[in-house]
Amino acid sequence: MRSLWRTIDRGTLRDIALVCLADAVVGASFGAITVSGGLDASVPIVMSLLVFAGGAQFAAVGVLLAGGSAVAAVAAGLVLNARLLPFGFAIADVLGERWWTRLPGAHLMTDESVAFALRQGDRPRRRAAFWICGVAVFASWNLAVVIGALAGRTVGDTGALGLDAAFPAVLLALVLPALADRGTRRGALLGAGIAAATTPFLPAGLPVLLSLAGLLPVARSVTSAATATQADPAQEVR
């Protein structure tokens, strides 16, 4: 572990510390909202330890608190966490080839740990940034969730503190960077329209799943572009 600390620079360590602080605030909100919404304190604590996926946890608990089924909650979390699949390919060299490094590495894989890893110029620095960020975020997130869950029992009405806005705020923050792409933005708007139109008629959780239909035009355009590139390889260098 000492070699990891020696490999990474102080600026990166400072940035990781700031990310941990921000995640701790969100984690405390997650724990407080979950408990004050009526779920047992063990739910956010165990979920954070075993799932450890902030956005997916918010999505799953949000569906449950809205009255949705467990199946819809799990599906919402899985869909949101599907973005981690390409991340695994991007940092495969960081995780190593042995299962005892790949398994914990996959569990610690988050947007933050992957982002810090990809910022580094060589494998030793990528490895150091990933593991330091992953372990630090895991520790700060879970500690904050415990504190938030305990506080949620006392606060009762998190709406009075504005914590009820954490669910939509976090989810919005997750999708905003992707909306810079026109195709993605079009798919997101279509999906939002589908969810808004079906919410008054369907049980909680189902409109979110139906909104995935908004991705169909995006998938079609990506497929068409890939086909065109294969037909005319010169397009890759234009």
Burial of 85 from C-beta contacts in 10 A (0-12 / 13-18 / 19+): exposed
d(CA 96, CA 138): 20
**Domain assignment present for 82:** yes
Same structural domain for residues 118 and 192? Answer: no
Same structural domain for residues 7 and 30? Answer: yes
Same structural domain for residues 49 and 130? Answer: yes
Same structural domain for residues 63 and 175? Answer: yes
Domain carrying residue 139? 2-179
Which pLDDT belongs to residue 234? 52
pLDDT in tens, the chain (238 residues): 555 556 777 888 888 888 888 888 888 888 888 888 888 889 999 999 998 988 788 888 888 887 878 888 888 788 777 777 777 887 888 887 787 888 888 899 988 888 888 888 788 888 888 999 999 999 999 999 999 898 877 765 555 555 555 555 655 665 666 667 777 778 778 888 888 888 887 765 567 667 777 777 766 665 555 555 555 545 444 4
**Domain assignment present for 238:** no
Q: What are phi and psi of 110, to 5 degrees?
A: -135, 170
Give the closest residue to 136 by CA, choosing from 4, 14, 20, 11. Answer: 20
Same structural domain for residues 185 and 170? Answer: no
**Domain assignment present for 101:** yes
Residue with tokens 């991340």: 87
Same structural domain for residues 9 and 51? Answer: yes
Which pLDDT belongs to residue 198? 85
Which pLDDT belongs to residue 2? 55
Instruction: Identify whether the C-beta of residue 209 lies closer than 8 Å to the C-beta of residue 73.
Output: no
Same structural domain for residues 137 and 41? Answer: yes
Please name the residues in contact with 147: beta carbons below 8 A apart, sequence gap of 6 or more.
Answer: 28, 31
This prediction's pTM: 0.66
**Domain assignment present for 219:** yes
Question: How far apart, in Å, are the Cα atoms of 57 and each of 4, 44, 62, 85?
Answer: 30, 8, 8, 17
Other CB atoms closer than 10 Å to residue 79's CB: what's the count? 16
Same structural domain for residues 76 and 141? Answer: yes
Write the single-letter amino acid at 136: A
Q: Which two tokens stand for residue 123?
A: 């494998």
Instruction: Identify whether the C-beta of residue 114 lies closer than 8 Å to the C-beta of residue 90.
Output: yes
Same structural domain for residues 32 and 125? Answer: yes
Structural domain total, the chain: 2
Same structural domain for residues 134 and 18? Answer: yes
Which pLDDT belongs to residue 190? 85
Other CB atoms closer than 10 Å to residue 132's CB: what's the count? 21
**Domain assignment present for 56:** yes
**Domain assignment present for 169:** yes
167, HSE (Cβ side, Cα atoms, 13 Å): 18
